[in-house]
Structure 1
């Protein structure tokens, strides 16, 4: 697995923009149909700190929900949500790497929120995941689809410069980490699913000093921060250069700093 797929995560940094990050997950769930099982069995791949996994228990209060993540730091944070749910269901969390996750039971819903962009070859995992769905079950996910935005393009350009290419040039997310909507539609529909694919561009209005840098420190910049963790001076120098590029690309206004952010959504329902 590429180094970019295994950064060290900082739950506190990630959660600094929790409201903005949770909105796409709620928009995804709004398009998920009723689940066939009562109580439902749900897997959340790449559950992170557990805050959006807990939202699943609000939609399906009697469900048994398991969050999977390969970050010990995120799973430690998620522990706060584990246990019986208010509706009589159960919420638990376990270590699992999505690229190698092989379901050992059947599910009514397999869902993933902003995680598959880190999973190399995730298209190849879809057949096994769909096999693990009960008839009428659903695979639903959303991923950032903005790898061409200044947020990432500037990071890659900086990482490719002579000073940084040997340190971070190979760890950043590649431009092919997310496929086009048509590729996902063709794959999932070809596997026999009733498939709904769409994109949304959110205009996040962020507050504070260098808020776009603060945002990306929780996500896309993690591979570079991890690669430079043993050299704080180099890490700080890279972040400062990147910060200056972001300031020019995302100027602030009186009401805040606008971060346009495009996301791709997929809901694939297995034939009943």
Structure 2
């Protein structure tokens, strides 16, 4: 076997494919291969790159047959549950998928609180109702993913690409969203209290009825954002001009609550 064709079929579900690709990449990183190939395992972007990587590894004597038992176990698993597939592959879902490709995976409703997913590629993933409390998703690519109802309190999403994600009804309290790209994101009815959005892009985002109490909004770009009925209270980084602009666009600054808090 000199390529992916001999390892698994092309018509696998996104969950099975993500698990098998990660198993292969981590296995290659353990092999006595030249530094350039190890570097490729950290930066491949698509199926073609991985195909080339396996061909190069085979040319250096890697025997992929040792992976066949694991591959077959994942392919023939009775269900598509990501956590169970990872276990079959001998992977730790809380540690082993940082920088991993998880394109279009279904992690709906799973508990991955505290997981290390920094720089992971989760474009188009179904993450509805997932528990990612205190997870590390810094610099992750989540563009187009569905995180509706997700628990992301105290999660690290700094530098993450959240373009066009759905975070409707999500809990982002205490989350780090520094420099995150939230352009065109759906943040309606989500909880952003005590979150850090320093330098975040919220261009054309939907913040309808979102809660932003005690939120750090230094340098946030609200251009074109829907802020109707968004509730703000004691937020950092809101100048009088920005406050006036947001108020004219329908945002609610809870002055009465602030007065009660001071009294």
Scaled by the length of structure 1, the TM-score of the pair is 0.24
Larger-gyration structure (1/2)? 2
Structure with the larger strand share: 1
TM-score by length of 2: 0.25
